[in-house]
Amino acid sequence: MRTLISGGTVVTAADTFVADVLVEGETIVALGHGLQGDTTIDATGMYVVPGGIDVHTHLDMPFGGTTASDDFFTGHRAAACGGTTMHIDFVIQPKGASLREAIDMWHAKANGKAAVDYGFHVAITDLTEAVLQEIPDCVELGVTSLKVFLAYKGALQIDDTTLFRTLQQGARHGLLTMVHCENGDAIDILVREALAAGHTAPVYHALTRPPQLEAEATSRAVRLAEVAGAPLYIVHLTEAGALDAVRGARGRGNQFIHAETCVQYFFFTRDDLARPGFEGAKYVCSPPFREPSDQQALWGGVADGTLEVVSTDHCAFWYEGGRDGRSRGKELGLGDFSKIPNGCPGIEDRMMLMYTHGVGRGRISLNRWVELCCTNPARLFGCYPRKGVIAPGADADIVLWDPTARHVLAAATQHQNTDYNLYEGMEVVGVPRTVLLRGRVVVDDRRWVGEAGTGQFIKRGTQPAVR
């Protein structure tokens, strides 16, 4: 079965050109003019872009005394409706479990539900000698990135010994180490002090996680990665000091230091956590939202290449959970900000927001948008050129992007499994109209037509050696 996508403008990270795209089965087989297919999808007036790849998500994750509300079906449907056809989720090693057991647990969560393609990183929380020896085996399983948290003391946080040994072992075997950079020990003290002083409102989440503690942890991770000669990926970078730490490493010639930000950090500030009543809880995530000057710094970072990826850290919770069949949500933190589950939804919104506020406002080019949201994620995480590009031989993960269509982001119309949308009422210009996953239409004229069980686990490749 050959499908011709005709009359559109193909956009890649490098080029923009008018061409038809011929798909055979699950694969792109040709780009050009005068091609023939068995069926045709008219892409006149559309950009034809690679499916988005979101490398930072938490679906069905136990966290903060509850479980994230989007699972591997609802989260996938939302992703596809937002133009994202692959994501990489974090397997979290339960303390005492092997990495293999943890990865198997996450496969069980996705099996039968997956509706877009997906991969896994594995987060190490308990680095025993046996776990250290297991790291190379992850490559065989197609899990080629590790993660550690320098925050969440008493839960996910690891120490510098674990960080350094993970970096070393990862580097020896071609795995990329990803790090959540905040100083969890200092945060823990500030949180205790705030609560003792009777400061319980959501805004204290931000006030007890100041930017200096992100800058410090980022510099530490960067310097340790340099000593270990290890590829490093800083997740959800939010502020100017951390950006300087990454720029410093690149300035020293260390091209193996990578960093992402997440879309929400361009839009919200600490003031959003101080919204009236308990509304601020919707905006509680870690690291927290910063200052307008940091937002400007982040736009600078994506424009100059310091930040190579924009992901979401999609980790949805209900605002009013714990009833009507909902898992517990943000209400867990009524009366104590430290009990608000950390995380925000966004897997559906990312591509539209970056197009509207990045491309539409002249902050980034059309090609840079594709590079940040589709191509660099594939390159950095070992699945390029199978994913992240419109080219012969690539999987036919294709989005027909309507650059002039308007859409208002809202909880009532979203597919994300939660009762709020961070961007409620915000209009975007530019939406995914048709989405193909390996040649199969999963979104047709903005309507979900996909199916649970059709998403595939993607085994990913390793990193180039640093030295």
Q: Compute the CA torsion angle 135, 139, 141, 142 (nearest 10 deg).
A: 130
Angle at 310 between CA 389 and CA 220, to 5 degrees: 125
Number of residues forming the site for Zn ion (CB under 5 A): 2
Of 126 and 226, nearer to ligand URP (C-beta) is 126
Angle at 28 between CA 23 and CA 33, to 5 degrees: 70
- Choose among ligand URP, Zn ion, none what residue 211 binds, the Cβ cut-off being 5 to 8 Å by kind: none
How near is the Cβ of 5 to Zn ion at its closest, in Å? 34
Give the sheet arrangement for strand 2-6, strand by strand: 27-32, 20-24, 2-6, 39-42
How near is the Cβ of 313 to ligand URP at its closest, in Å? 5
Count CB atoms within 10 A of the CB of residue 446: 14
What residues pair up with 431 in beta bridges, in sequence order? 402
- Choose among ligand URP, Zn ion, none what residue 368 binds, the Cβ cut-off being 5 to 8 Å by kind: none
- Does position 260 interact with ligand URP (CB under 6 A)? The reply is no
Of 28 and 215, nearer to ligand URP (C-beta) is 215
Asked if 206 and 262 touch (Cβ cutoff 8 Å), the reply is no
> In the window 9-28, what residues touch ligand URP (CB under 6 A)?
none
Tokens of 408: 């208002």
Q: Is 285 helix (H, G, I), strand (E, B) or coil?
A: coil
How near is the Cβ of 234 to Zn ion at its closest, in Å? 10
- Does position 313 interact with ligand URP (CB under 6 A)? The reply is yes
Angle at 362 between CA 361 and CA 365, to 5 degrees: 125
Whole-number Å distance between alpha carbons of 19 and 47: 10
- Angle at which helices 211-228 and 160-173 cross, to 10°: 40
How near is the Cβ of 331 to ligand URP at its closest, in Å? 17
Tokens of 271: 């003031």
* Phi, psi dihedral angles at 427 (to 5 degrees): -90, 135
> In the window 314-373, what residues touch ligand URP (CB under 6 A)?
315, 342-343
Among 76, 113, 180, 386, binds Zn ion (CB under 5 A): 180
* Residue number with the smallest Cβ distance to ligand URP: 342
Of 81 and 315, nearer to ligand URP (C-beta) is 315
Whole-number Å distance between alpha carbons of 292 and 309: 20
Q: Is 222 helix (H, G, I), strand (E, B) or coil?
A: helix
Asked if 38 and 29 touch (Cβ cutoff 8 Å), the reply is no
Distance of CA 391 to the CA centre of its chain: 24
Q: Is 256 helix (H, G, I), strand (E, B) or coil?
A: coil
Of 341 and 430, nearer to ligand URP (C-beta) is 341
Whole-number Å distance between alpha carbons of 261 and 150: 17
Of 158 and 435, nearer to Zn ion (C-beta) is 158
Among 58, 121, 350, 438, binds ligand URP (CB under 6 A): 58
Of 313 and 371, nearer to ligand URP (C-beta) is 313
Count CB atoms within 10 A of the CB of residue 419: 20
How near is the Cβ of 386 to ligand URP at its closest, in Å? 26
Whole-number Å distance between alpha carbons of 385 and 391: 8
Count CB atoms within 10 A of the CB of residue 76: 32
Q: How is 367-413 classified by DSSP, letter by letter?
A: HHHHIIIIIHHHHHTT-TTTSS--STTSB--EEEEEEEEEEE--TTT
- Choose among ligand URP, Zn ion, none what residue 201 binds, the Cβ cut-off being 5 to 8 Å by kind: none
Using only C-alpha atoms, what is the Rg of the chain? 21
Binding segment for Zn ion (CB under 5 A), chosen from 1-9, 175-183, 244-252, 455-463, is 175-183
Among 87, 113, 165, 180, binds ligand URP (CB under 6 A): 180
* Residue number with the smallest Cβ distance to Zn ion: 180
What is the amino acid identity at position 102?
A
The binding track of 220-239 with respect to ligand URP, each residue x by CB under 6 A or -, is: --------------------
Of 48 and 78, nearer to ligand URP (C-beta) is 78
Count of positions (residues) in the chain: 467
Of 90 and 256, nearer to ligand URP (C-beta) is 90
Tokens of 250: 């690149």
How near is the Cβ of 325 to Zn ion at its closest, in Å? 25
How near is the Cβ of 240 to ligand URP at its closest, in Å? 19
Among 6, 169, 286, 312, binds ligand URP (CB under 6 A): 286
How near is the Cβ of 93 to Zn ion at its closest, in Å? 15
Of 313 and 402, nearer to Zn ion (C-beta) is 313
- Choose among ligand URP, Zn ion, none what residue 375 binds, the Cβ cut-off being 5 to 8 Å by kind: none
How near is the Cβ of 380 to ligand URP at its closest, in Å? 17
- Choose among Zn ion, ligand URP, none what residue 285 binds, the Cβ cut-off being 5 to 8 Å by kind: ligand URP
Of 12 and 183, nearer to ligand URP (C-beta) is 183
- Does position 313 interact with Zn ion (CB under 5 A)? The reply is yes
Q: Which residues lie near Zn ion (CB under 5 A)?
A: 180, 313
Which positions lie near ligand URP, rule CB under 6 A?
58, 180, 285-286, 313, 315, 342-343
